[in-house]
Amino acid sequence: MSWKRSAIAFAAALAAFGANAQTATAGGRVAVGVTETIASYDPYADSVSLAYGIWCQVLGCLGVYDFSKSDYVGMLAESWEVDKADPTIWTFHLKHGLKRQNDGKELTADDVVFSFNRVNTDPASQQKQNVAPVKEMTAVDKYTVRVVTKVPTASLLEYLFDRFIITGKDLYEKYGASQADRKYLWGWGPYKLQELQIGQRIVLEKDPNNPQVKPENPDTIIFTIMREPEQRVTALLNNEIQIAEFIPPQLAQRVREAKNAKLVESSSVEIMFLAMSPKYKPWDNVKLRQAVCYAINRDAIIKSILSGQADRLDGPIGPAQYSYNADYAKKNLYIPYDPAKAKELVKESGYKGEPVDLYTPVGRYIDDKEVTQAMIPMLNAVGINARLRTPEWATMWADVQKGKTAFYYMGRGSVVDPSPALSQYFETGGSPRIGMSDPGIDKALAAERVEFDPASRKKDLNVAFKAIEDASPACFMWSHRMLHGISNAIEFEPDPTGRIFGTHIVVKQ
């Protein structure tokens, strides 16, 4: 009998040793260096890209925008349609039989409606804007949700997909908000929340029962907050992390030269622009505003300061974004670098040479101070007496929000369907940031908002782009290319929103 026991013991030891060997090679564990933080256990209390990316894959979203298909695809929702008679009524059909992590409870329409109510009523909620167009949501039956919008909104999916997080009604009611958030963040996504340490890291674990996951997806994903780019690059090169988010252009070469990692570029969905508020002199003159657009040599700035890691924007959006039409942009939206024409426009505008201040944040966008610094002599060269101002972000943002800044460099992120962003900045009453009021822009934006046929809507959006450029409340600069450092041990194509989904990562064997 004793040899049997020793055999078993030996086998057990072997198994244990084998198990150790597996963890020693860290198979299936991927660490990601990220820049943003999640500040709360409440999934509705943050509004940063990282939070949406994590909660969508842990708790679940109705759907996401799939850049490879250039269209929206359902995640918790199977399909959806707009009522032909009344375009304010949308119907979402949920997938059947979606089992929750840990307890297997099925997703129902009640959970969706509950989540909608929670977004609007949770005191810590910072996500109300994501459901702003929705007047009411009701559960028609177990798997069907009826959404009624306040006005016909063709861009509804830009609001509801990717950013509307679905949580369970029963857990919330049973345990109360704070317990439910701290201990019972169970959802219908492919990854479970293993650990959340505010300001430090978030650890996710694959839910093997979820149909979306494949065996080659990582078992564990660790999001480590590393705000300094140097820190991320060093960690990548030391194999501490396998994905380093957002490499700035000046560190790109280091990652390219690394033996254990490669640099992966992709377009982003953030647009950079110079805003000019017509409420303030001398920016009330459209010719002066147009002059600025011709005065800036964008290609030179992209080449030298941004190391080529940006795509010039012809029109408000770039190729990765919804409704982009390369031909139309080239023919109708492209503004060349033409200092002679800019000088002429400046003269025609009657600008008297009074000093104007260009405001820029520092360190908020890639090389923001450097690119705006380079713009100053370009503006001076065409006769615009410009000076650079670099206020602290809090001060600058306060002023911009109140509409007190006349001329500034700014970015707008998360622009997939451009409708909400354009409306916010350029429509009458959209927000005080520029204070633009142009009937051509208003008409064009109103038209695209109620056009539900995708092909027609894309045309309408391009018409709106032209209207915006003609009225020129802003000069569109570029959209930064997103650079990620990816370890050779995995395969991963970054998504232009910057979100990192475990189901997109393949661990090489």
Partner 1 sequence: MVGYLLRRAIGTIPVILLITLLVFLLIHAAPGDPADLLLSDQATPQDTAEARHRWGLDQPLYVQYSRFLVNVLKGDFGTSFRYSDPVITVIGERLPATIELAIVSLLIAVALGLPLGVWAGAKPNSWADNLGSFFGFFGISMPNFWFGIMLILVVAGYLNWLPSSGRSTYGIARGSETGFYIVASLLAGNFDAAWDGVKHIILPAIALGTNMMGIIMRVTRSAVLEVMHEDFVRTARAKGVAESTVLWRHVLRNALVPVITVVGLELGTLLSGSIIVETVFAWPGSGSLLISAIESRDYPLITGTVIIYTLAFVAINFMIDILYGFVDPRIRFGR
Partner 2 sequence: MEGSVAVDVAVGDAAGPVRARRRLAIRPLLKPKILIGGAIVLTLIVAGALAPWLAPFDPNAQNLDLALKPPQWLLGPHVLGTDAVGRDIFSRLFYGARVSLVIAVMVVLISGVIGVALGAISGYFAGIVDFLIQKAVEVVWAFPPLLLAIAIMAFLGQGLGNLILALVMQRWISYCRVARGQALSLRTREFVDAARALGASNTRIIVRHIVPNLFQSAVVIGTFAMASAIISEASLSFLGLGVPPEIPTWGSMLADGRTYISTSWWLALFPGLCIFFTVLGINLLGDGLRDLLDPRLKRSGTGMG
Residues at the site binding partner 2, with contacts judged by CB under 8 A: 229-230, 233, 248, 250-251, 253-254, 300-301, 303-305, 362-363, 367, 369-370, 373-374, 377, 387-392, 394-395
By C-alpha distance, which of 461, 403, 390, 482 is closest to 437? Answer: 403
Whether the Cβ atoms of residue 359 and residue 407 lie closer than 8 Å to each other: yes
Q: Label residue 58 exposed, middle or buried (CB < 10 Å: 0-12, 13-18, 19+).
A: buried
State yes or no: residue 257 binds partner 1 (CB under 8 A): no
For residues 178 and 193, is the Cβ–Cβ distance under 8 A? no
Q: Considering CB distances under 5 to 8 angstroms, the limit depending on partner class, which of partner 2, partner 1, none binds residue 262?
A: none
Rounded to the nearest whole angstrom, what is the least distance from the CB of residue 148 to partner 1 in the complex? 19
**Selected range binding partner 1 among 73-81, 91-99, 220-228, 373-381, rule: CB under 8 A:** 220-228
As given in the structure block, the two tokens for residue 227 are 């705000």
Task: Pinpoint the alpha helices (H) of 105-256.
Answer: 109-121, 156-160, 169-183, 229-237, 252-256
| Interacting residue with partner 1 among 201, 480, 481, 484 (CB under 8 A) | 201
| Binding at 373: pick from partner 2, partner 1, none (beta carbon under 5-8 Å per type) | partner 2
- Is 35 among the residues that bind partner 1 (CB under 8 A)? no
Burial annotation 10-43 (CB, 10 A radius, 16+ → b, else e) = eeeeeeeeeeeeeeeebebbbbbbbbbbbeebbb
Residue 30 or 276 having the CB closest to partner 1: 30
Binding-site size, partner 1 (CB under 8 A): 41
The one of partner 1, partner 2, none whose footprint includes residue 256, by CB under 5 to 8 A per kind, is none
Asked if 123 is part of the footprint of partner 1 (rule: CB under 8 A), the reply reads yes
Nearer to partner 1, 10 or 393 (CB): 393
286 binds, among partner 2, partner 1, none (CB under 5 to 8 A by kind): none
Question: Which is nearest to 357 in space by CA: 375, 345, 382?
Answer: 375
Considering the rule CB under 8 A, would residue 197 count as an interface residue with partner 1? yes
The whole-angstrom distance between residue 5's C-alpha and the CA centroid of its chain comes to 59
**What does the alpha-carbon distance between residue 251 and residue 266 come to, in Å, rounded to a whole number?**
16
Please provide the size of the chain in residues. 509
Residue that is written with structure tokens 């009411």 in the block = 136
Q: Which does 304 bind (CB under 5 to 8 A by kind): partner 1, partner 2, none?
A: partner 2
* Tokens coding 239: 């194999």
d(CA 476, CA 311) in angstroms, rounded, equals 11
CB of 75 or CB of 371, closer to partner 2: 371
* Cβ contact 293:378 at 8 Å: no
- What does 342-356 look like in DSSP terms, one character per residue? HHHHHHHHT-----E
Residue from the set 115, 167, 210, 224 that interacts with partner 1 by CB under 8 A: 224
Window 36 to 95, contacts with partner 1 (CB under 8 A)? 39-40, 42, 45, 47-48
Compare residues 251 and 333 and give the one whose CB is closer to partner 2: 251
Q: Which residue has the tokens 């660790």?
A: 222
Q: CA-to-CA distance for 136 and 133, rounded, in angstroms? A: 9
Residue 377 touches which of partner 1, partner 2, none (CB < 5 to 8 A by kind)? partner 2
Contact 261, 487 (CB under 8 A): yes
**Please, what is the minimum distance in Å from the beta carbon of residue 59 to partner 2?**
36
Compare residues 218 and 383 and give the one whose CB is closer to partner 2. 383
Closest CB to partner 2 among residues 330, 389: 389
C-beta of 398: minimal distance to partner 2 in Å? Answer: 11
For partner 2, give the closer residue by CB, 22 or 253.
253
Distance, in Å, from the CA atom of 172 to the CA atom of 110, rounded to the nearest integer, reads 13
**Candidates 80-88, 221-229, 343-351, 455-463; binding stretch for partner 1 (CB under 8 A):** 221-229
The tokens describing 164, both together, are 């509307």
237 CB-near residues (< 8 Å, 6+ apart): 254, 255, 258, 260, 261
Please report how close the Cβ of residue 398 comes to partner 1 at its closest, in angstroms: 5
Residues that bind partner 1 (CB under 8 A): 26, 31, 39-40, 42, 45, 47-48, 123-124, 126-129, 132, 197-201, 222, 224, 226-228, 230-231, 234, 238, 240, 392-395, 397-399, 401, 412, 420, 424
